Chains A and B, each alone.
Chain A
Amino acid sequence: MQATLALEDGRIFAGEGYGAPGEALGEVVFNTSLTGYQEIATDPSYAGQIVVMTNPQIGNYGTNEADNEAPKPYIEGLIVREFSPVSSNWRSERVTDEYMERYKVPVLAEIDTRALVRHLRTHGVMRGCISTSDTNVESLVAKARSIRKMDGMDLARVVSTPTAYSFAAEDSLAETGNSLLPDNTSSDRSLLHVVAYDFGIKRNILRMLTREGCRVTVVPAETRADQVMELKPDGVFLSNGPGDPEPVDYAVKAIREMLGRVPIFGICLGHQLTGLALGGRTYKLKFGHHGGNHPVKNLRTGKVEITAHNHNFAVDPESMNANDVDLTHVDLNDNTLEGLRHKSLPLFSVQYHPEAAPGPHDSNYLFHDFRKLMDEWKR
């Protein structure tokens, strides 16, 4: 099956199609993780995006239910150098090709992915179109240009859960007892109640909270602060999610209203929203951070954590009020702000992904910090 990628600036890559036939439109971003293509594909933060994996061999170990970060893939399309038609791993339940086909994700393979990555690095992320049906270059480029730009787009609302639901250690998706997933070992601690805003939440975040002895109520993105406070949470969690933080003003408002009333922990989009709620600004990065090897320095301990990233936007550190806020984490590659903590109120957030999945576990401790913050607040 022939397949073509057209970028909005007219650059064309022709290769082989796998997965689902058809067309995909989205912002093209690259991810440098060597492992974890399934987690990446199912991370709702990738909604609206076509992902290029820099690792040239993708699909090798198949797919399995436990590695899903959401019930289905959120990426619009996948671009790889070589796509494995077979899977080899004891955990594999379905060959990656079948998986992508089943969930209607087109895969473009056999193109020079490195050339594409260099193009995006130089010219910044851009919109693109993958098609297995249309081979007319001009029409493909036109399609790429036709989609809305990510800037100013509120995708959190789109991917969020329509209704609230709860998640606890007993939940089948927590899969406690699976030695590869976070273990729930905190039975001696009292169970805390966390309300988690779902802007595109990853399943492993829920597992990590569960591991810290929390039962979690996941609520839709547009839930108001008073509705959350009615649930009597011990803490509020602000999840990751796709798109631009600025149009998510309803959440910014909610955060402002909860500030100081309940411990808050934000990740990724949740961090950006926190930044906005504290009066800061966000901006779009040229080609974003997407990968599992970013060095982030914890400015409080001086230690470097190797971390998983997935963000196109960031909080401008200059815009933060230094009297209220400590900048706690910084990316050593490009000095992007990666974490902040309020000096007096129970609130902290990080731009990157301490829940990993995929990625290193160096920053898992942040969930523990959140638990401690909630425990202290309770006393």
Chain B
Amino acid sequence: MPRRNDIQKILVIGSGPIVIGQSAEFDYSGTQACKALRQDGYEVVLINSNPATIMTDPELADRTYIEPLTVAYVEEVIRVEAAMMTPGAGKFALLPTVGGQTALNLAVELSDSGILDKYGVEMIGARLEAIKKAEDRLLFKDAMVRIGLEVSKSVLVNNLRDGLDFAGKIGFPILIRPSFTLGGSGGGIAYNREELMEILSRGLDLSPVHECLIEESVLGWKEYELEVMRDLADNVIIVCSIENFDPMGVHTGDSITVAPAQTLTDREYQKMRDAALAVMREIGVETGGSNVQFAVNPVDGRMTVIEMNPRVSRSSALASKATGFPIAKIAAKLAVGYTLDEIPNDITRMTPACFEPTIDYVVTKIPKWQFEKFPGADDTLGPQMKSVGEVMAIGRTFKESLMKALRSLETGKKTGSEELDPRRLLQRLVTPQPERLNYVRFAFERGMSVRDVARYTGMDPWFLHHVCEIALEQKQMAEQNAESITPAQLRRWKRMGFSDERIANQWGLAGHDGIQQVRELRYRHGVRPIYKLVDTCAAEFESHTPYFYSSYDEEDEAPPTAKRKIIILGSGPNRIGQGIEFDYCCCHAAFSLKDDGYETIMVNCNPETVSTDYDTSDRLYFEPLTLEDVLAIYEHEASGGAEIGMIVQFGGQTPLNLAQRLRKAGVPIIGTSPESIDLAEDRKQFGKLLEELSIPQPAGDTATSVEQALAVAERIGYPVLVRPSYVLGGRAMVIAYDAQEVARYMTTAVEYSSDRPVLIDHFLEDAVEVDVDALCDSRDVVIAAIMQHIEEAGIHSGDSSCVLPPVSIRATTLDVIRDYTRKLALSLKVIGLVNLQFAIQRDDSGEDHVYVIEVNPRASRTVPYVSKATGVPLARIASRLMTGRSLQELLPDVVASGKDLDPGSHFYVKSPVFPWGKFPGVDTVLSPEMKSTGEVMGVAATFGEAFAKAQLSAGQTLPSGGTVFFSVNDHDKPAAVRLARRYVELGFQLVATEGTADALESAGMNVERVFKVKEGRPNVVDLIKGDRIQLIINTPRGQDTIFDEKAIRRAAVLARVPTITTIAAAHAAAEGIGAMQSHKTTVYSLQQLHPLVAARS
């Protein structure tokens, strides 16, 4: 069946902000889908609230709406778009299967509420009944039984008593899975009644349909996943099989996984394949990709179906990258009527996409966790996903791929410095935690047998055998040294995947010099990696897709070309502080330089991204971002003799950390020099520069001891901001109000040394913070955006909402900021992008003082947001500047006028999204340490409406009426009075704790008083739990109230009451509520906001 010609327009729904359980993989899938549909001549309309994505680039759709993913806003988009259609030219269709659970749930709601029917919109890619059958636990179970497949014993409950009854019947442990939540949110394993009650009540609450599945535990069974595709002609193929290294009990997103499946006989594999096909047919997924998960009892092979997702998923992204088969693209094509045999395989060009990829390498995925960001969070892994990102590595053997994946993780810890406690060994083997693999290795080093480790961990002995070999080999390494080692032995280690760093470490060769010694030894012995091709067919057919991985094997398949080339270093695994924004920049560099005639070469190890799509750049190296691996690629590519350069400023901190060493090794880094990047990080040199330029910065100094730190703090005055040097996302950064806190920080919170001192700065209270992004070619500077933070200084910029253009900064102050920006960019000889942070403090006489907080001569987190708000693709221009082109050539009008880039007549608010829901018990207060996982953008004609939209997109639905709870520190009391008055005007009731209530009452307002938690009951937490409070405004007051504030915030997260922790944000919220009360739902497409952009694309 060929392309459907009865469709005119297709709405694609994205997945919204990056959250745990729904990450960059849906940018990859949405981007592929949009591209595929447009290539086929359909009019594509996209809605997604996440501005950091490639998919929301205006070039990828005919109209791009960065709007909240709620029924009301999607309906408005549908209404507007339906009205624009040419009558008789075809139908309006909705593709809900490439935007994760968010898009799928939204599509179900749109359908159930009759909106799709109302506007004549047809759902393609998945039928409503199929979605419901797959997602509804009970329907799914019935369906599986009908086709003769086993499922775990389970019961669906909507109250605690039924859950307890069932547990009584089948016994503990027992699994709780809430219906319709993403990433297994709210799920858990209960080992007793008490835990069951706790997890079940939370699960019921989180489930949009107030329903949980209670399930017999198959803990310790082997877990498998098959990626399946089906077309309208009922052709079904398995794209990839995945076997989990961690047994059942750990969410697959938190499991180490391996492709292809390693320990199934053909008989078992085919039985699983037959089951997956039957599931697809029974559920009725007519077109597109799905995944089906299975559990297998290692003792007798009994197989049960765990679940299936009738959409493109995280594992589809992994499977796509693991095999080279573009699942999302093909899924989009199938949705519009093509059959698998009509679609060519891009990689071989000669054969069709209707086949099952076979691979001649092993792929390992390891999740990336960041529990260090959330003190107090439970780091036990279970059915609810907790990782923030993942890495994938390809090797010719399992050992090689595992070791490559491990070094891709960038733990920041020195290799071999893991602190392993022998007394906790057994517990750590039994209980899944992020460090478990280290303990497995440790167990082998201490002589434990594979059989015993398998018994404790439930991991398959085949996997463990390999880990054991690695552990024992590593132990023996120390018996050799650089003189005694034979080339053959060195080669054997490299074939097992050991990095130079690990060998150096085992040989006691210290630091970067030690690693270099090993590298040079390796070169002397001629032990170098070669590059092999990912081709979907295990070399059976000739392939054209330049997608490579390294291996210590014999034949190289990636001879360098004669074209001039640029290597772009990606950003590695998604993590807090370094997310999809950097991938966005890397992709843009590839796009623009490809257009300019360069051969673009991408290096990255994150399977969720667009940058690791084989058609984003001319060549893709799926490799760890370590010096060893990057240098090897450089040397390989440079060996062809063509002109070559490397870009390090787009991938966040990961490539920047390598910049100096790459430069030393002779790699030509293009754009801003690594020296300038370092200068901006070096406190002394940077201070000197600011002095020369007469630009003020907050008083500060460095310290390497507790005494020194206290002296510095005393000298510059409290409060102080203390932080370690060289970190991203404000790791371990705090604001200290007194000596006690500084001392505590220095003794417990952070490690420091003479070359890595602690930085101590005076903290500017009540300052307004501003972020600036600018372009510079070392001659001209173009200011792309001045963004005003909505929270005050002191909250990490990544966690702060901000607005473009600024709403309450004086024109003269903006000019000061512009002046400082230009001066700094030029003196740092920036070529490309630079991000600056300023704080504006107003003194008692009303005069503004602008301080520089920091300068980062690299792409920042805000680049995609600013690009979307201004309609100017900053990263593209920046990459061209790096190749020697000029701003005068690329932005002649802007350079001539000397003005900032123009965001037009609208306001663009960016708001962060936090993972609080995943970490119950963790304090939700904002601080200098970044904690948000993603961001959204709201656009509107007024600031208030834009803010309200952003909040809505971030999952914080601002109430349009009800009661506001106020509890503010003394310092904020005058401001709180003005604020409370505004809320009263908006029709809100006030509730406050004693001190705040006094202040509000004395200003003449009616306030209901409530006890603090410590004071008695009913207290504020009782009110929150009783749904008496709709909005919380709670500014932190330091140590003595921490307990109260934590309790309030925790209750608020559970009850999903929006909590605002700064006065500035509370003002913005009031504006937003005001806008919302006027009940308008307006949507804007980027193409309409920036008509020039539309014209260009």
Expressed in whole angstroms, the Cα–Cα distance for A89 and B266 within the complex equals: 12
Asked whether any CB of chain B lies closer than 8 Å to the CB of A233, the reply is no
| Contact B267 A67, beta carbon cutoff 8 Å | yes
Q: Interface digits, A35-50 against B, CB 8 Å rule (1 contact, 0 not)?
A: 1101100000000000
Tell me, in angstroms, the Cα distance from A113 to B554 when the chains sit together.
Answer: 9
Task: Note all chain B residues with C-beta closer than 8 A to A32.
Answer: 358, 360, 537-538, 540
Determine, out of A123-131, A267-275, A301-309, A320-328, the stretch whose residues face the partner at the interface. Answer: A301-309
- Min C-beta distance of A183 to chain B, whole Å: 12
Q: Please tell me if the beta carbons of A34 and B358 are within 8 angstroms of each other in the complex.
A: yes
Is A121's CB under 8 angstroms from B539's CB?
yes
- When the two chains form their complex, are residues A293 and B351 in contact, meaning their CB atoms are under 8 A apart? no
**Contacting chain A: which of B458-466, B509-517, B685-693, B1081-1089?**
B458-466
Chain A contacts of B298 at CB under 8 A? Answer: 90
Q: Chain A residues near B553: list those with CB within 8 A.
A: 112, 114-115
Q: How far is the CA of A66 from the CA of B2 in the complex (A)?
A: 44
B541 touches A333 (CB 8 A): yes
Q: Are B355 and A35 in contact (CB under 8 A)?
A: no
A311-345 CB contact bits vs B (8 Å, 1 = yes)? Answer: 00000000000000000000011100000000000
Task: Check B235 against A34 for contact (C-beta < 8 Å).
Answer: no
Contact mask B250-282 → A, CB, 8 Å, 1/0? 000000000011111111111101100000000
Contact A114 B267 (CB under 8 A): no
Contact check, B541 vs A35: say whether CB atoms are below 8 A apart. no
Residue of B nearest to A84 (CB): B462
Which residues on B sit within 8 Å (CB–CB) of A359?
266, 270
Flag if A117 contacts B266 (CB, 8 Å): no
C-alpha spacing A334/B352, complex, angstroms: 10
User: Which residues of chain B in 331-388 are interfacial with respect to chain A, using CB atoms and an 8 Å cutoff?
Assistant: 339-341, 350-352, 354-362
B360 & A55 in contact (Cβ 8 Å cutoff): yes
Whether the pair A304, B341 counts as a contact (CB closer than 8 A) is yes
Near A by CB (< 8 A), chain B positions 1050-1082 give none
Describe B's contact surface by its main secondary structure.
Answer: loop
In the complex, the answer to whether B264 meets A35 with C-beta atoms within 8 Å is: yes
- Chain A min CB distance to B491 (Å): 11
The contact of B356 among A30, A64, A85, A293, by CB within 8 Å, is A293
Q: Are A56 and B361 in contact (CB under 8 A)?
A: yes
B763 close to chain A: CB less than 8 A: no
Name the residue on B nearest A13 (C-beta): B554
Size of interface on A: residues with Cβ below 8 Å to B: 57
Known contacts A81-B396, A88-B465; A361/B262 CB under 8 A = no
Kindly state whether residue B1038 has any CB partner on chain A within 8 Å: no
Which residues of A sit under 8 angstroms from B537, Cβ to Cβ?
32
Question: Are B360 and A117 in contact (CB-based, < 8 A)?
Answer: yes
Residues of A within 8 A of B358 (CB): 32-34, 54-55, 291-293
A375 to B1018, CA, bound (A): 83
* Contact code string B393-405 (vs A, CB < 8 Å = 1, else 0): 0001110000000
Is B807 close to A, CB under 8 A?
Answer: no
A336 to B263, CA, bound (A): 33
Residues 74-123 of A at the B interface (beta carbon under 8 Å): 81-82, 84-91, 111-115, 117-118, 121
Task: Verify B539–A303 contact, CB threshold 8 A.
Answer: no
For the complex, give the distance between the alpha carbons of A200 and B351 in Å.
Answer: 31
Do the beta carbons of B265 and A91 come within 8 Å of each other?
A: yes
**How far is the CB of A208 from the nearest CB of chain B, in Å?**
13
Partner among B351, B359, B361 whose Cβ is within 8 Å of the Cβ of A332: B351
Find chain B residues with CB under 8 A from A176 CB: none
Max count, chain A CB within 10 A of own CB: residue among B340, B465, B539? B539
Cβ-defined partner of A303 (8 Å) among B235, B273, B299, B362 = B235
How many chain B residues touch the partner (CB < 8 A)?
A: 58
Q: How far is the CA of A334 from the CA of B537 in the complex (A)?
A: 14
CA distance A361 to B241 in the complex (A): 16
**Which residues of B533-582 have CB atoms within 8 Å of chain A's CB atoms?**
537-542, 553-555, 557
Residue A57 CB within 8 A of the other chain: yes
User: Could you tell me if A302 and B233 are in contact, using CB atoms closer than 8 angstroms?
Assistant: yes
Q: Would A56 and B397 count as touching, CB distance under 8 A?
A: yes
Q: Are B539 and A54 in contact (CB under 8 A)?
A: yes
- Chain B residues positioned under 8 Å from A54 (CB to CB): 358, 360, 538-540
Residues of A within 8 A of B542 (CB): 121
Most B Cβ at <10 Å: residue of A85, A87, A88: A88
B234 within 8 A of A: yes
Q: A66-B267, A360-B273 are in contact. Are A112 and B554 (CB under 8 A)?
A: yes
In the assembled complex, which residues on chain A have CB atoms less than 8 Å from the CB atom of B362?
A: 56-57
B37 CB to closest chain A CB (Å) equals 23
> B11 in the interface, Cβ–Cβ < 8 Å?
no
Distance, CA A297 to CA B270, complexed state (A): 20
A81 to B262, CA, bound (A): 14
Answer yes or no: B532 CB below 8 A from chain A CBs: yes
Q: In whole Å, how far is B237's beta carbon from the nearest beta carbon of chain A? A: 6
Kindly list chain A residues whose C-beta atoms are within 8 Å of the C-beta of B397: 56-57, 81-82
Task: Tell whether A36 pairs with B266 under 8 Å between CB atoms, given A88-B460, A112-B553.
Answer: yes
Q: Which of A34, A117, A118, A302 has the most C-beta atoms of chain B within 10 angstroms of its own C-beta?
A: A34
Which of A84, A89, A303, A332 meets B352, CB within 8 Å? A332
Report if B194 contacts A (CB, 8 A): no
Residue B300, interface by CB 8 Å: yes
B301 at the interface (CB under 8 A from A): yes
CB-defined A-B contacts under 8 Å, sample of 12: A32-B540, A34-B359, A86-B461, A86-B462, A88-B460, A89-B265, A111-B554, A114-B396, A115-B554, A295-B351, A302-B233, A333-B351
Q: A39-B266, A84-B465, A306-B356 are in contact. List 11 more A-B contacts (CB 8 A).
A: A30-B540, A34-B269, A35-B264, A38-B265, A54-B538, A61-B263, A91-B265, A114-B396, A114-B553, A356-B270, A358-B270
A-to-B contact residues, CB < 8 Å: 30, 32-36, 38-39, 54-57, 60-61, 64, 66-67, 81-82, 84-91, 111-115, 117-118, 121, 179-181, 291-295, 297, 302-304, 306, 332-334, 356-361
| Interface pairs A-B: 7 shortest CB-CB | A36-B266, A115-B555, A358-B266, A54-B538, A88-B462, A112-B554, A293-B356
